[in-house]
Structure 1
Amino acid sequence: MDPSAEASGRVLSADGTPIAWQRQGEGPPLVVVDPVMVDRTTSGMAGVAELLAAGHTVYTYDRRGKGESGDGEQYTPESEVDDLLAVVETAGGTAALLGTSSGAVLALRAASESAVISSVIAVEPPLTEDSDEDPDIRPELDELLAAGDRAGAVRLFQESIGVPPEMIESSDTSPFEPAAHTISYDLTLLLETDVRSLTGIRVPVLVLASSGSDDRLREWARETAELLPEGSFQLLEGSWHGLDDRILATAVEAFLN
């Protein structure tokens, strides 16, 4: 990889919020959209981004309220879409998107609302047509954060999404605690995104799921792919809500090429 292709900077979103981004590699632009609570320094997508940089100009960025990016006065899903589109503009005006979990939902929303997205790879977007919604834990999160219990907020979220108890017990919450206040952002994004509103997406979408995830996550991914006009579904070998870097990178490369 040409070292001159590496760069970083900030771009202003539509509401003036500075969004920090980083670039590596050369080739067609691809923007990575991270899931809840992580920034570029804690992202589990860093290894995938490095692998994909062999054939793509890969942009990673800190979602608002995380890492080196700023935050707005009031969160809305529309503001997060604007942030992502600002990064796409930095990438040259059009790009493919690779999003995981809530980041996949954000990527799909951007593709449904803008014509500058060329394709989307969505890894286990937690979307469903089922009208029975999970309990809204945002008020309880607010109470924990007001009490300064960021670790408790992280664990509450993990429990609410079905992270296996043994994974919660063995996990270190400290890397996620700085962004614990943004958990409610992702929950708002999910609660205010109707999977049926995405049926207007007119670009190719690959929805991926892991063999190690529970039935609910896999079926949500499959259902989302079936609803999209140009959607396809692929089940890959992996762990709970996670895929090996090389397996994921290979699937992304095959889809984009």
Structure 2
Amino acid sequence: MIKLYLLCIFIFLGITTSKAQGTEVEEKIPFTEPRFRYYLQTLLFFNEYLDTDNGSFNTTQVRGLLPIGSKAWNLRFDLPLISANTNEQNKTGLGDVGMGISYIPFMKNNQGIALRTRVYANSAVDPAFGSGKWVVMPAFFYGRYLNSKKNLWISSFEYQQSFAGSSERNDISIAVFESVLFHFFGKNWIAGDVALRYNSTLSGYQNNAYVEYGRRITPTNLVYIHPSVAFGGDKTYNYGIEAGVLILF
């Protein structure tokens, strides 16, 4: 595990020593499209409902995105409010809050690379609302336009590892490979996404997939909705639906 961390650090340092290319806001390049904003201050409000074998969970979340420096850097903040309606409890409270930082080391023509690291705190007011752990999540993204920029493909790999928290909760060690394809038409977009998620603590898969429809309703406001379904031997939910509003500044 230590060797893996060192390798990730060396790769990150090697990439960040090169100058980010072509990150002007006006260019039509990946990571400027809806849901992957880097260059504008953004507030995202969304609500996600998940059905599980033990009841349902509802998450209402506020996410803030703030470009910094040359705007190749981006800060992210997540504040979730979770409601549980299960066989054991029916309550609402704060979940695990998160903070992240992203960097675009390469952006040219119709493709780009981005790096991101998130940290989620053990801040949930109830064990059912969080992991009970502090979790770090480094990730790598590759984005590319296809078919005269009417389609955008973004793939990512993220590794989630707990490093502190309750000794009574399971450690977190999850690898996630995700691929999403957007199609843009007029003020609208549709997308399909598949995430393959392997939980090495459970030695099982917790995959999910969704389809999404989004629309720009004003020059600075966008809305989207996407239903999702989970699959795999150790899936964490059965099906869900998420709807959100993006406000750009």
The normalised TM-score by structure 2 is 0.31
TM-score (norm 1): 0.31
The answer to which structure, 1 or 2, has the higher relative contact order (CA under 8 A, 6+ apart) is 1
Structure with the larger strand share: 2
Higher CA-based Rg: 2
